[in-house]
Amino acid sequence: MLYSKDVLIELVKINMEEGFSDTLYSEVEKCGGIGIDSYIESKLPEAITQVFLAAPDSLLPQIDASSLLTPQKHQNGSGEILLPKDMLRFTLLKMKGWDRAVTVINNQNSSVAMLQKNPYTMAGRSKPVVVLENGHNGDKVLRYYSLPPEIRNHEIEDALYVKIPDLSSPIEIHELLLPSITYLTASIVFNILGDTERAALMRSHVSIG
C-alpha cells in the first residue's frame, strides 16, 4: 500500500501518544520547541531504511532494473554492473546463460568473494556468484561470476533492487512492515528527546529492523 509522508507522521504520533499523550508535547518544548512533526519527518527515512535492510525480499517494493543496467564483460567470463545511485539494496540478478538467478549478494570481503579471484575456484553458469563492491567516487558495483568466456555479449535477463526511501512522494510499504517502521521512528525521536524509557518501550514493538 502507498503511504504519504503526512500519513506516516500521523501514524508515528499515534504510537508516541500511547499512554502518555499529556506529556508528549511538553517534552518536545523542552528541546527547543521544534515541532514534533519535524522530528518525525527527519527520522522517518532512517527508520524505513533500517527496516527495509532487514526485511525479507518478499515484503519489499522492488524495481525491475533489467533494462536500466549495462553489464561490462571481462575476458575471463566475469563482469561488472554499475548500480543506480538510488539503490538501497540489490535483491536479484540473472544473466542470460545462467542456469539460475542469484538472490544472495555477497560482501566484497567475504570468503565467497575471495574465491572469485582464483580462476580455479571462480563460480560458473551453474552456480553463479554476485559480489557487491564499492567502486570509484562512492559508486556501488556488482561483480558477477561467471559466463563461459566464449559468450560474446553479456545480457541481463532479470534484475531487481530496492530504492532508497524518498518521502517526496507516497512510498510503498507492506502492511507487515508498517508497525516496525512507525514504532522505530517513535523510538528514535524519543531518544532525541532524551526519554530513553519511552524509546525502549517503542523499540520493544519493533519486530523487523
Q: Between β-strands 2-3 and 140-145, what pairing exists: parallel, antiparallel or unpaired?
A: unpaired
* Span 135-168, pLDDT tens digits: 778 899 999 999 998 899 999 999 999 999 999 9
pLDDT given for residue 179 in this prediction = 97
Kindly list the domain boundaries of the chain, sorted by start residue: 2-59+173-203, 63-163
Of 101 and 32, more confident: 101
Q: Which residues contact 117 (CB under 8 A, 6 or more apart)?
A: none
Mean pLDDT for the stretch of residues 73-88: 95
pLDDT-derived band of residue 173, with 50, 70 and 90 as boundaries? very high
| pTM for the full predicted model | 0.89
Cell digits of residue 52 = 527495509
* Span 21-43, pLDDT tens digits: 555 655 554 554 468 899 999 99
176 CB neighbour count, 10 Å cutoff: 13
